[in-house]
Amino acid sequence: MATIYDVARLADVSAKTVSRVLNGDGPVGARTREAVQDAMAKLGYVPSNAARTMRSNRSGLVGLITGAITGAQESARPFGLPDLLIVQGIQRVMASRDMTLMIADTGGRADRVPHLVRTFLEHRAEGLIYVAEYHQQIRLPQVPDATPLVLVNCFDDAQSPAVLPDDRQGQHALVRRLVAAGHRRIAYLTLRADMEATPLRTAGYQDALAEAGLPFDPAIVRIGYQSDEEGEMQLLWDAIDDLLRLPEPPTVLCCGNDAMAMRVYGILRSRGVRVPDDMSVAGYDNHRIIAETLYPPLTTVELPYAAMGMKAADRLMSLIAGQGREEPAPTLVTGPVLWRDSVVERRAATLQSISL
């Protein structure tokens, strides 16, 4: 392996001159610089980043811990949007800042996280990012105060800087748009009650109803999500059966995620209920492989994962620079409502009935 002294001999300069070219910390003539660079290219010389890191106390490295890689390989069914989109958003910002992102996958094992944190610190990572697969509370091992940490799609008791989806505002925006389209009986098939998103989205749902002067009816709010596919299908069958038998059934079903909405389409069609002519359906996530390929295409709310990743990377870079340490946590990111053909506009019919 070539050394700095080999480069100096071939370029016919001193080792000090080669060092100046590498580090940009002293004046070097254009011809001399070109001679040194040519010598490095001919010898295949690779500068020692470790040595420069020790001198500058900057490594240019950021450590990211995620389960996205394993999750993408092992998932047999689509759960919302893969958190890999968060990683892509982070990478986009890091590349623009000339930082190197080191990514470690947990393999679905929480007990690996302390080892991964320690490994990144041993490699002198300037900051750490932890990405969770869905909005949840987590517990991480103690990270030195000198190493900035940002959480994405999760939060902890230590009030670490965090970037989260604004679940309450997302559901509020969807229901408000449904009301504007003329719907007055809006059912909500929620995720599990123990998931952080559920009470937040339910609150957003109620906010929009109250804003429109519509009553909240607990009879049209049902849990529609379970971890196993077979159990979820039965849960949805029962919920939809009960909703359709109500004296005043809903005109639209809001689903906790797009995968649930896909199953709702199937259940409704098996019962001879047309989407959206007889029943409108809306989802949550904007999982495009579902939302854009269903027929009719699915109205949904985008989980802003790419934007969350970019926001988290910006937040970490500010912390590394010694800025923004007093900013409140967490940072909430809102995604837009994507209005597609799975929801029928009832305004024209409503106006016609009023005029008659």
| pLDDT tens-digit readout, 4-60 | 888 899 999 998 898 888 777 678 888 998 998 898 888 877 665 545 554 445 778
Would you say the CATH fold of 167-303+339-355 matches that of 61-165+305-334? Answer: yes
If you average pLDDT over residues 74-101, what whole number do you get?
A: 77
Q: How confident is the model at residue 290 (pLDDT cuts 50, 70, 90)?
A: very high
How far, in Å, CA of 21 to CA of 47, rounded?
11
How far, in Å, CA of 148 to CA of 318, rounded?
9
pTM of the prediction?
0.79
* 88 contacts: CB under 8 Å, gap ≥ 6: 306, 309
pLDDT of residue 81: 52
If you average pLDDT over residues 142-157, what whole number do you get?
A: 89
CATH number of 61-165+305-334: 3.30.360.10, 3.40.50.150, 3.40.30.10, 3.40.50.2300? 3.40.50.2300
pLDDT of residue 57: 57
How far, in Å, CA of 348 to CA of 72, rounded?
44
Q: pLDDT (tens digit, 9 = 90+) per residue, 165-204? A: 999 999 999 999 999 999 999 999 999 999 999 999 999 9
Map out the domains of the chain as residue ranges: 1-31, 61-165+305-334, 167-303+339-355
pLDDT of residue 325: 74
CATH code assigned to 167-303+339-355: 3.40.50.2300
